Structure 1
Amino acid sequence: MPLSRNRVLALAIAAATGSPLVMANQADSKGFIEDGHLTFLARNLFWDHNSSAHSGDPVNRSDKREWGQGFRLDYGSGYTQGTVGFGIDLSAYAAIKLDGGRGYSGTAGVLVPEGDGTRDEASSAGGAVKMRISSTELKYGNNLRPYNPVFAAADARLVPGTATGLWLTSSELEGLDLEAAHLTAAKDFNSTNSDDDFFAAYAGVSTDTVDFVGGNYAINDQLSVSLYGSEYKDIWRQYYANANYTWPLSDTQSLNFDFNIYRTDDEGRKLAGEIDVTAWSLAAAYTIGAHTFKLTHQQIDGDQPFDYLGLGPGTFHDSIYLANSSQLVDFNGPNEKSWGLFYNLDMAEFGVPGLTFHARYIRGTDVDGSKMDPNSPYAYYADGEDHWERDIDVKYVVQAGPAKDLSVRLRHATHRIGNDKSDVSADQIRLIIEYPYEFF
């Protein structure tokens, strides 16, 4: 049964208004101006994705190199007082080219494309009106940024991706957070156009409507569960479930288990062809003091890959909560199995608060595209593909002084694949410098 707009909103409203905690938050409103806030973020991003050294082609189209400066200004008003409160959210974005990549301009998705190159400067703005009853909020506008397992607009370039439509959130019951949306247009992180379509990232096909409904429930301090459903019109219906449990062993030690599962079926006109995929992952993490060690397993059961949100052709957003989704690849090929080893270090335990280190190694095997319909947009996988990825991530956040909250992050990833039918071997470096500031 399709997740129509009326059904999506009715489910969320019914869940939200069934709470006895009526007026809990709206009753505390101090006013439209009084509760307003204005924040600023400056982000400098250098992106170098080098696959030419491994492809034998010195100017391979997969070689991507761009450098830019982004600015974001967000204003969120408070709510008018009364049983029903009203307010607005406003955002302004700008992306400035510092280096187009010397022959690689327009290849990395960092800068806004224009003709055969990229714009020197690009800007956009968006807004939403909002209303609140108790702890239930409804927004309508073109700068919505939902972030959940079935629709997560990424913020991995100079400015974030956004969507246009209706977005309802509710936190009426303690520990229970619900949301639903009917979305009708998108703006990618390298676009100034807020009227774009939504994409199936790996299939490369698009739709103009996405609906989702779901939420998260914290059963107690150790255990939480999530359940979501979405419909990308004429492409797929996708369902997601998660269980996350933390077992405290002592004041400095714990075990965490995280299970994620998706079920995706084709829908409507089947623009991406036949889809019949179950994708799941299980992660077990042991934390002792500053150290966290994690072991992961991920499996794709289906003759198509696991696919998820894009907000433009050739871009990939964050609607994949599987454990082995990584910086360069997602280990999501048809019938693929993968395992991973992760290590995280928080240097605060050693007297350097704000400094963190992350490393991971993931290997994927048994990719089998031999049963794929040759007319499928996913028909670019070989039989028996295997590959691996290694990622290193170092970040430092200034803790005090005039530069408080300034962060510097260096990410390096290496990917190697046995053949290059569905992907290529590559190395990538990202250097991100961010400075957030809160005016009020």
Structure 2
Amino acid sequence: MTVMKRPLHLQQTEIASLLLHLNSLTGLVFLQDQQHPVIGFLPQAYLQVQNGQSHFMQRNEQLGYQVQEQTINCTDFIAFAPTREPADAGFQGGIIGFVSYDFAAQQQIQNQSKEQPALYFGRYRSYLKQEQGQWYFYSDEAQAEQLWQLINRLFMQPLSTEADFQLTQPCQARWSRQDYQHAFTQVQDYIRAGDCYQINLTQEFTGVAQGELLATAQQFWQLTNAPYAGYLKLDGFELLSCSPELFIDFQADRKMSTRPIKGTMPRHADPQQDEQSRQQLAASQKDQAENVMIVDLLRNDLSVYAENGSVKTPILFEIESFNQVHHMVSEVTAILKPEVNPIEMLLSALPGGSITGAPKIRAMQIIEELEGAPRGAYCGSMGYFNLDGTGRWNILIRSIQKYQDQLSLWAGGGITIASDSDAEYQECFDKVSAMLNLLNTWQKP
């Protein structure tokens, strides 16, 4: 099938500005995807789950959407072709979407779910992609010319002020320090009782807002410079990702890799102090122990669908530095069995071990008991699959979600028997305070 590729001649190239011009289009989505940015819009069809109900929508000739009566599950939503020679890096047309923590956990435990969308997969055959600093329009659809004309008209229109964003109530911690201490103590009681080895205990920061979260996106992406940033808009739901963490990279020839983060230290403006923080993390036996627990858990998760003997751990305890924090990162690789649908593999492995704990099912049960509110999209995954089954999916940490006027931002860390409550509480703020402070600059006077 012939693919239309045309360069876009744009006055502004900031990603958030481009998204604001396309804000009226159904299924608007952006993925930073390391260094391969892509913007999707008007999917051919999409599958959405909300409040336990699945909705399958198909685009019509007028570029509107109609409900399809047939039932369809995630693994049937797209048929992957046999692995081909790899094309250009990044998205090439296929599925883009997200899976919430709530949806993923429900496959294994009983848990509550936020009212907002819990899963979304869109089939995108028309999209924008940045290559060597230039944006291009790609499409292999019959309506490619119509879509090309539409987005050019939208880019020529001035931006509406209706997208302005304001907090009507500041975003602040739902828990007090004493609330956190109480939950931390309960986690350690469970560890002593033998229920678990580690729990990823997180806390929520909530606010009330009006306007479009998208209006804040460029400042958040500049603040964090996150390799797995993203954005998704579904009616009254917006998801803004500033994630540094890769969940699974599905590569050519059925190769897979995952890079769990476990271990954090803050960055410092003073170079000597910053290097000391980095070295302290690199030498931390506690963080290494936590990291190994999660590596073992993910090795087990991948091995279920991997070829025998293919699961390897080529990297342990590598230190990666981001704008606000240093992280300890390891890597696990494997080869997917040829008969396994990559979507099946993704859904089975979620939620990621780095944001649950070990053993995973008991950890998720304890999280459900202690955290006091469903996580929603936080600690889920956002990403894409190409038609050959390759693709990349992140872990939705450092992410803001807005549904109607309710806003939430989460942060947390892994708790083990060796953890210190004050240090773990501070780690939450090391991870999220810069984002929280920036967010609260939009507070209505």
> What is the TM-score with the length of structure 1 in the denominator?
0.26
Higher strand share: 1
> What is the TM-score with the length of structure 2 in the denominator?
0.26
Higher helix share: 2
Bigger relative contact order, structure 1 or 2, given CA contacts below 8 A and separation 6+? 2
